[in-house]
Amino acid sequence: MKVVLIGVGQAGGKVTQRLAEYDYDMGFGAVQGAMAVNTAEADLQNLDIDTMLVGRDRVKGHGVGGDNELGAEIMQDEATEVMDGLDAKLSTDAEAVVIVAGLGGGTGSGGAPALARELKRIHDIPVYVTGILPGRDEGAIYQANAGRSLKTVAREADSLLLIDNDAWRTAGESMEEGFAEINDNIAQRLGLLFASGEIDAVDEVAESVVDSSEIINTLRPGGMAVLGYASAAASEDAGENVNAITSTTRNALLTGTSVPNVVEAETGLLVVAGQPERISRKGVERARSWIEEETGSMQVRGGDFPLDSERIAALVLLGGVERSNRIDEFMQRAKEAHESKNDGRGEAKEAFLNEELDDLF
Ligand code: GDP
**Structure confidence at residue 10 as a pLDDT band (50, 70, 90):** very high
165 CB within 6 A, ligand 1: yes
Shortest-distance atom of ligand 1 to CA 134: 14
Half-sphere exposure of 339 (CA within 13 A, CB side): 15
C-alpha 253 – ligand 1 centre gap (Å):
25
* Residue 37, pLDDT above cutoff 50: yes
Distance in Å from the first CA to the final CA of the chain: 31
**Structure confidence at residue 175 as a pLDDT band (50, 70, 90):** confident
Shortest-distance atom of ligand 1 to CA 142: 14
- Distance CA(353)–CA(179), nearest Å, equals 33
Give the pLDDT of residue 344.
Answer: 43
Rg (CA), the chain: 20
Q: What is the pLDDT of residues 51-78, one digit of tens each?
A: 999 999 999 999 999 999 999 999 999 9
* Residue 352, pLDDT above cutoff 60: no
Q: Average pLDDT for residues 86-103, to the nearest whole number?
A: 93
Topology classification of domain 3-200: Rossmann fold (3.40.50)
- At 160, give phi and psi (nearest 5°): -110, 110
Share of the chain above pLDDT 90, in %: 75
- Give, using CA atoms, the residue closest to atom 22 of ligand 1: 11
Closest CA to 319 of 184, 206, 182, 154: 154
For the CA atoms of 90, 198, 267, 325, the dihedral, rounded to the nearest 10 degrees, stands at -70
* Ranges in the chain annotated CATH 3.30.1330.20: 225-319
- Distance CA(223)–CA(332), nearest Å, equals 18
- Distance CA(81)–CA(242), nearest Å, equals 52
* Ranges in the chain annotated CATH 3.40.50.1440: 3-200
113 CB within 6 A, ligand 1: no
* Residue 114, pLDDT above cutoff 80: yes
Q: Average pLDDT for residues 179-192, to the nearest whole number?
A: 96
Q: Average pLDDT for residues 130-145, to the nearest whole number?
A: 93
Give the pLDDT of residue 329.
Answer: 79
- Which mutation among 8, 10, 148 tests ligand 1's pocket best, with the greatest number of atoms within 8 A of CB? 10
Give the pLDDT of residue 341.
Answer: 65
Higher pLDDT, 85 or 353: 85
Contact 319, 270 (CB under 8 A): no
Contact 310, 217 (CB under 8 A): no
- Distance CA(126)–CA(120), nearest Å, equals 8
The pLDDT mean for the chain works out to 91
Taking every pair of Cα atoms in the chain, the longest distance, rounded to a whole number of angstroms, is 68
Q: What is the pLDDT of residues 265-296, one digit of tens each?
A: 999 999 999 999 999 999 999 999 999 999 99
Whether domain 225-319 has CATH 3.65.10.10: the reply is: no
Shortest-distance atom of ligand 1 to CA 63: 3
Contact 303, 288 (CB under 8 A): no
State the sign of the Cα–Cα–Cα–Cα dihedral 326, 220, 160, 300: positive
